[in-house]
Chains A and B, each alone.
Chain A
């Protein structure tokens, strides 16, 4: 059974640009959550999608957005990138959101 797949694995961007990250959940999982991991703040919840609807959002600015497609795949977009957005972005999936989440390897985003 394939795990959670995130692409790309690494990204380098400059300030002011925007970026889109992709996540394919485990087959049959309809809930997809996104997290940001940094050395200073640790793992922080960004948002969760279920059946193409955002159900909850963490405490991040509106520059962070996402969407989910009918096949449960999800994308996260960050606009007007700032140096502080450099982080590992993790995607996690579960069947409905109540079950334990399964994590992908993450996308490491570096802002120059």
Chain B
């Protein structure tokens, strides 16, 4: 079974600071990787995904993530955060090619951006 670890449970940054949220997974095979975001009072939304190909993926709202296979990592980055990025961020994984397998989520990182 796979597992996902997010290193930081709470992160506080000032506007315009750079962001990097860590995510490591444990699984013996190939995986699909996702970052989801949950803004206050809203449902989970997909930020970006990696299935195959270029390990640097770009998502919505200026976010990007890099898949490093040797490190089993999929860290989320944004060069300059905004107050509106305050939200809960979840890294998730499922085995690739196995459509029936549900997503395994990390515990989430609560990001607070101070104006």
| A residues in contact (CB < 8 Å) with B | 3-4, 31, 33, 35, 42-48, 50, 55-56, 58, 90, 92, 96-98, 100-106
Q: For residue B90, which residues in chain A have a CB less than 8 angstroms away from its CB?
A: 43
Indicate if the CB atoms of B100 and A48 lie closer than 8 Å.
yes
Q: For residue A43, which residues in chain B have a CB less than 8 angstroms away from its CB?
A: 90, 92, 103, 105, 108
Indicate if the CB atoms of A42 and B102 lie closer than 8 Å.
no
Indicate if the CB atoms of A97 and B43 lie closer than 8 Å.
no
- In the complex, whether B46 has a CB less than 8 A from a CB of chain A is yes
Indicate if the CB atoms of B100 and A97 lie closer than 8 Å.
yes
A22 CB to closest chain B CB (Å) equals: 16
Q: Bits for B81-115, please: 1 = Cβ < 8 Å to A, else 0.
A: 00000000010100001011111111110000000
Question: Can you sample 26 A-B contacts with CB below 8 Å?
Answer: A3-B43, A31-B99, A33-B103, A35-B102, A35-B103, A42-B105, A42-B108, A43-B92, A43-B103, A43-B105, A43-B108, A45-B102, A45-B104, A46-B102, A48-B102, A50-B100, A55-B99, A58-B102, A90-B44, A92-B103, A98-B97, A100-B34, A102-B46, A103-B43, A104-B43, A106-B43
Kindly state the separation between the CA atoms of A19 and B102 in the bound complex, as whole angstroms: 23
Extra contacts besides A45-B104, A105-B42 (11): CB < 8 Å = A3-B43, A43-B90, A43-B103, A43-B108, A55-B99, A58-B102, A90-B44, A92-B44, A100-B46, A100-B49, A102-B46
B99 CB to closest chain A CB (Å) equals: 3
Output the nearest chain A residue to B51 by Cβ-Cβ distance: A98
Output the nearest chain B residue to A106 by Cβ-Cβ distance: B43
B104 CB to closest chain A CB (Å) equals: 7
Indicate if the CB atoms of B100 and A55 lie closer than 8 Å.
yes
Kindly state the separation between the CA atoms of A100 and B102 in the bound complex, as whole angstroms: 11
Indicate if the CB atoms of A105 and B100 lie closer than 8 Å.
no
